[in-house]
Amino acid sequence: ATTLGSAAAAKSRYFGTAVAAYKLGDATYAGILDREFTMVTAENEMKWDATEPTQNSFSYTSADTIVARARANGQRVRGHALAWHSQQPGWAQSLSGSALRSAMVNHITKVATHYRGQIYAWDVVNEAFADGSSGARRDSNLQQTGNDWIEVAFRTARAADPDAKLCYNDYNTDGVNAKSTAVYNMVKDFLARGVPIDCVGFQSHFNPASPLPADYQANLQRFADLGVEVQITELDIAGSGSAQADSYARVVRACLAVTRCAGITVWGIRDSDSWRASDTPLLFDGNGNPKAAYTSVLTAF
């Protein structure tokens, strides 16, 4: 295969990227996007602050641009993210209790209904667990509305967009650790109680302080063994040269080894597009040329 998307497709996987609406007019960027990728995630445009800047007044222009363009190019779309403690509009940050809970439910209903039938998988809830060894929920305004906020979010999303896969998405859950085990136990509980959940997203933001875990594949497999799909949702790996290329290949091999691993999304196209550009964590350099990591990914498929 000669592109990331076709290499992944040969193994029944997708290969996606995060995109920013304001870059779509950049010919180099758009050229790589349409040549290489079969799945698209809006990097910021579907978040709560972007889609509902004023309570119950929705703003879909940028996200609609991304979705329409992807669909016109035969690319599928991951919806990111319906309920999250971060990137909330100011009005939501200042709500609490039942007012915030109702606002969350309304947000999920409206956004998921707007995109009903057009989204492959929603990140319904993002980053709801605490880092470290506690296995606890993250203390956030949403958590303070009651421990059942996550299952309410999933049930609300299912009602609004019944054919989309519904994912829980997080970081530092890539290996077997207290945080990923807490997520694992939640997923198991949801499945046992009939709370709708179809997939788990592993962000996979790797750097020297938080490297690709040795038990990455084993961790994906234990979630897959529960019966949910697993997806690598925001992959980027700090570094350069052969070390970076080898890590990218390991991620591809891990996904290929897990039957229920549906695909891989990288969190941007060129290093210069990255949210942490100084880490040069992506597959294309700032000029849009493929890096060693790119060739390594193609070969690993």
> What positions carry a catalytic annotation?
127, 234
- Residue 228 structure tokens: 């949910």
Q: Which two tokens stand for residue 98?
A: 């039942």
Check binding of 219 to ligand XIL (CB under 6 A): no
- Contact between 126 and ligand XIL (CB under 6 A)? yes
How many angstroms separate the CA atoms of 192 and 223, rounded? 14
**Contact indicator for 267, 205 with CB cutoff of 8 Å:** yes
Q: Is 203 in the site for ligand XIL (CB under 6 A)?
A: yes
Identify the CA nearest to 81 among candidates 30, 163, 18, 33: 18
Number of residues that bind ligand XIL (CB under 6 A): 6
Quick one: tokens of 27? 């010919």
**Residue nearer to ligand XIL on the CB measure, 50 or 252:** 50
Decide: is 217 part of the binding site for ligand XIL (CB under 6 A).
no
Straight-line distance from the first to the last Cα atom of the chain, in angstroms, rounded to the nearest whole number: 9
CB of 203 to ligand XIL, least distance (A): 6
Question: Which CB, 60 or 275, lies closer to ligand XIL?
Answer: 275
Q: Is the dihedral of CA 167, 170, 174, 178 positive or negative?
A: negative
Q: Tell me whether residue 6 or residue 210 sits nearer to ligand XIL (CB atom).
A: 210
- Report if residue 204 touches ligand XIL, rule: CB under 6 A: no
Q: Which of 43, 161, 236, 279 binds ligand XIL (CB under 6 A)?
A: 43
Interface with ligand XIL, residue 280, by CB under 6 A: no
Question: At 154, which helix (H) or strand (E)?
Answer: helix 149-160
Q: Is 23 in the site for ligand XIL (CB under 6 A)?
A: no
- Which one of residues 6, 44, 59, 109 is an interface residue with ligand XIL (CB under 6 A)? 44
Nearer to ligand XIL, 202 or 294 (CB): 202
Q: CB of residue 266 vs ligand XIL: minimum separation in angstroms?
A: 12
Tokens found for residue 12: 């029944």
Task: Rule CB under 6 A: say whether 275 interacts with ligand XIL.
Answer: yes
Q: Contact between 143 and ligand XIL (CB under 6 A)?
A: no
Q: Which residues pair with 40 in a beta bridge?
A: 17, 77
The residue nearest ligand XIL at its CB is: 275
Q: How far is CA 134 from CA 130, 143, 145, 187, 255, in A?
A: 7, 16, 20, 17, 28
269/47 Cα distance (integer angstroms): 20
Sites of contact with ligand XIL (CB under 6 A): 43-44, 126, 203, 234, 275
